[in-house]
A and B are shown apart, each in its own frame.
Chain A
Amino acid sequence: NAGVTQTPKFQVLKTGQSMTLQCAQDMNHNSMYWYRQDPGMGLRLIYYSASEGTTDKGEVPNGYNVSRLNKREFSLRLESAAPSQTSVYFCASSEANGGPYEQYFGPGTRLTVT
């Protein structure tokens, strides 16, 4: 039981390049989330998916797109990376039916955009 896994662990991009961050969970959870963590700003929600087939914007969605590929997988895409997207990205999942919605996090992807 691996919990929540993320790939890659580290990535360096040049401004304007694109990439997709992958996330998978093996806990049969309905809901999945993407957060970013920045010094001084804390963790902020980018996008979330309440269930397979649905996605919604969080607090900071600009510059990102997401895909809920199936119940296990939720990807985050940067179409044209900018230095402001340098951050640590975390994926999380939770069981959504009736609460209490405890979230479990992956190890993170450390992204640098130059």
Chain B
Amino acid sequence: KQEVTQIPAALSVPEGENLVLNCSFTDSAIYNLQWFRQDPGKGLTSLLLIQSSQREQTSGRLNASLDKSSGRSTLYIAASQPGDSATYLCAFNDYKLSFGAGTTVTVRA
């Protein structure tokens, strides 16, 4: 079974700082890696999906990288804003999703 780990569990940064969120997985025979955002009491919003043949994906201030050899994916959020405060989840996507526990981010104004 694929194990997905996200460290740290929580992160607090001042507004404007770049965010770096880490995700590690045990099985390098990865299909795809999907990043989500979850606001308190809400559903999951898909942010980025990196296919196994790709090394990174970008959307606006978000950039996600995938390094299969080291079993890692990193989500970068540039110039953080208070509206970026949320829980960020990564999930190994081999058609079914295996989730990490998430990193809860607080961006202080």
Contact = CB atoms under 8 A, between A and B. Distances in A.
Interface stretch (A14-22, A64-72, A78-86, A103-111): A103-111
Contacts of B101: 40, 42
A90 B49 contact: no
Interface residues on B, range: 20 to 34
B97 A102 contact: no
Most A CB contacts (10 A, CB to CB) among B45, B89, B93, B95 go to B95
A90 B46 CA distance: 14
A105 B43 contact: yes
B34 to A, nearest CB: 6
Nearest to B45: A105
Contacts of A92: 44, 97
Nearest to B42: A107
A45 interface: yes
Interface in B3-58: 31-32, 34, 36, 42-46, 49, 51
Interface in A86-108: 90, 92, 94, 96, 99-108
B43 A108 contact: yes
Interface residues of A, number: 25
Contacts of B42: 107-108
B96 A100 contact: no
A104 B95 contact: no
A74 to B, nearest CB: 14
Interface of B: 31-32, 34, 36, 42-46, 49, 51, 89, 91, 93, 95-97, 99-102
9 contacts: A35-B97, A40-B101, A42-B102, A43-B44, A43-B89, A99-B51, A103-B97, A104-B46, A108-B43
